[in-house]
Amino acid sequence: MAMTRERAADARRYAALPDPFPMWRGGALHGARIAYETWGALSAARDNVILLFTGLSPSAHAAASPSDPSDGWWEGMIGHGCAIDSGRYHVVCVNSLGSCFGSTGPASIDPATGAPYRVSFPDLSVEDIARAGFEVLRSLGIERAHTIIGPSLGGMVVLAFPAQFPGATRNAVSISGTAAASPFAIALRSIQREAILRDPDWRGGSYTDERPPATGMRIARKLGMMTYRSAAEWRQRFGRQPAGPELRSPEPFGPEFAIQSYLEAHAQRFVRAFDPNCYLYISRAMDRFDLAAHGASIEEVFARSRVERALVIGVESDLLFPVDEQRALSEALRKAGAQTTFAPLDCLEGHDSFLIDLERFGREISRFLA
């Protein structure tokens, strides 16, 4: 199920990855590519690049641009005069390796067979996503990023990037990320994957475009929403309001509360927008990530990475990537000698706060970049 965002405009560009592209846990890709978008001009000294990694499911379309004026997933954060100022920086956002919005992933054609990879795609790691971003910079003739930024999965990728390529970025901003997934996060993601794997329509990964494992994807997305937001936000926003009449059904056990309608709307959008096998691969990569595997300790890994300055942002209401994990990250960065700012924010919206509370996140990011 190759996913294309249905827009008249398309700002994507493509970088060919080295052939072969070795994968961190073994195997290699041939003829692979990464989709990316850019904002702002590259300076003559090539020293103003901000490389942006995404969460699990977004595309490279982080913000509107002349070639694609539709809103991006971080609209308002990136642009002229925004916190990530395209008047000053050349911003490059990559669609993750393994995803389905133009970059090579399980839904792409395997050149060796002429058919989609599906579950024959090699094991995917957070390290591979970082390496693919590094190769995009290389393809643009850039030796060193000014700053790498990433939220959620992206917040893990910005740790894996300098761990593999010391000196390849001067600064790093890790937002609501972690050095290693907790058992709670692993539990959540493995239940999401199980819902997909046990959907009869998954068919061992060989589902059709007409009949994707929609039930599994719906349940996975609804579960995701539970941990992306917060109980306090939902209490304020939905309380015990009844569901709208459009969702009331004569079926037994149909939706009764507004919170159920909200989850249903999100789930329906997601089923149409994301490839199930890509979801499985990226989700598992998040479980497996463990920065400490790159050295004797995460302090030692950071010391080798030559990151000069770091900003670590976390949110007190985050269930999935709890703020203690970002606190530990920032302490390790400090011990390793990076000039580190830790910003624990008390936003209401949980893990997804970076998408919503642009004012507070923007303030931290622009202060760091100033």
273-292 binders of its own copies (CB under 8 A): 280, 284, 287-288, 290
- Does 223 sit near its own copies (CB under 8 A)? yes
Considering only 116, 150, 162, 205, the residue that binds its own copies (CB under 8 A) is: 205
Considering only 82, 225, 286, 315, the residue that binds its own copies (CB under 8 A) is: 225
In the complex, minimum distance from the CB of residue 256 to its own copies, in angstroms, rounded to a whole number: 7
- Does 188 sit near its own copies (CB under 8 A)? yes
d(CA 101, CA 2): 8
SS3 of 151, please? strand
In the complex, minimum distance from the CB of residue 317 to its own copies, in angstroms, rounded to a whole number: 11
In the complex, minimum distance from the CB of residue 25 to its own copies, in angstroms, rounded to a whole number: 12
H or E, element range at 336: none
SS3 of 83, please? coil
SS3 of 348, please? coil
Q: Note the residue count of the chain.
A: 370
- Does 252 sit near its own copies (CB under 8 A)? yes
Instruction: Name the β-bridge partners of 174.
Output: 150, 312
In the complex, minimum distance from the CB of residue 195 to its own copies, in angstroms, rounded to a whole number: 6
Q: Which two tokens stand for residue 159?
A: 């740790």
In the complex, minimum distance from the CB of residue 187 to its own copies, in angstroms, rounded to a whole number: 5
- Span near its own copies by CB under 8 A; candidates 54-62, 90-98, 258-266, 303-311: 258-266
In the complex, minimum distance from the CB of residue 241 to its own copies, in angstroms, rounded to a whole number: 8
- Does 341 sit near its own copies (CB under 8 A)? no
- Does 116 sit near its own copies (CB under 8 A)? no
289-318 binders of its own copies (CB under 8 A): 290
- Span near its own copies by CB under 8 A; candidates 10-18, 33-41, 237-245, 326-334: 237-245
Considering only 209, 253, 296, 370, the residue that binds its own copies (CB under 8 A) is: 253
Q: Where are the beta strands (DSSP E) in the chain?
A: 13-16, 21-22, 28-29, 33-39, 49-52, 78-79, 84-85, 90-94, 145-151, 169-175, 309-315, 339-345
- Does 319 sit near its own copies (CB under 8 A)? yes
- Does 239 sit near its own copies (CB under 8 A)? yes
> Which whole-number Å values give the CA distances from 266 to 76, 189, 262, in the listed order?
22, 17, 6
Q: Kindly write down the DSSP assignment for every residue of 198-259, as one continuous string.
A: TSGGGGGGT--SSS--HHHHHHHHHHHHHHHS-HHHHHHHTTTPBPPGGG--SSTT---BHH
Catalytically active residues are 152, 318, 351
Q: Which two tokens stand for residue 312?
A: 């670590």
- Span near its own copies by CB under 8 A; candidates 47-55, 151-159, 247-255, 331-339: 247-255
* CB within 8 Å of 88: residues ≥ 6 apart: 40, 48
27: left (phi over 0), alpha (psi -120 to 50) or beta: left
Of 93, 89, 90, 61, nearest to 75 by C-alpha is: 61
Residue 115 or 119 with smaller CB distance to its own copies: 119
- Does 156 sit near its own copies (CB under 8 A)? no
In the complex, minimum distance from the CB of residue 218 to its own copies, in angstroms, rounded to a whole number: 8
- Span near its own copies by CB under 8 A; candidates 16-24, 87-95, 157-165, 216-224: 216-224
Q: Kindly write down the DSSP assignment for every residue of 257-303, as one continuous string.
A: BHHHHHHHHHHHHHHHHS-HHHHHHHHHHHHH-BGGGGSSSHHHHHH
H or E, element range at 134: helix 126-139
Residue 234 or 368 with smaller CB distance to its own copies: 234
DSSP 101: S
Considering only 78, 180, 217, 338, the residue that binds its own copies (CB under 8 A) is: 180
Size of the site for its own copies (CB under 8 A): 50
d(CA 218, CA 24): 30
Sites of contact with its own copies (CB under 8 A) = 119, 180-184, 186-188, 190-191, 193-195, 197-198, 200, 204-205, 215, 218-219, 222-223, 225-226, 230-231, 234-235, 237-240, 252-253, 255-260, 263, 280, 284, 287-288, 290, 319, 322
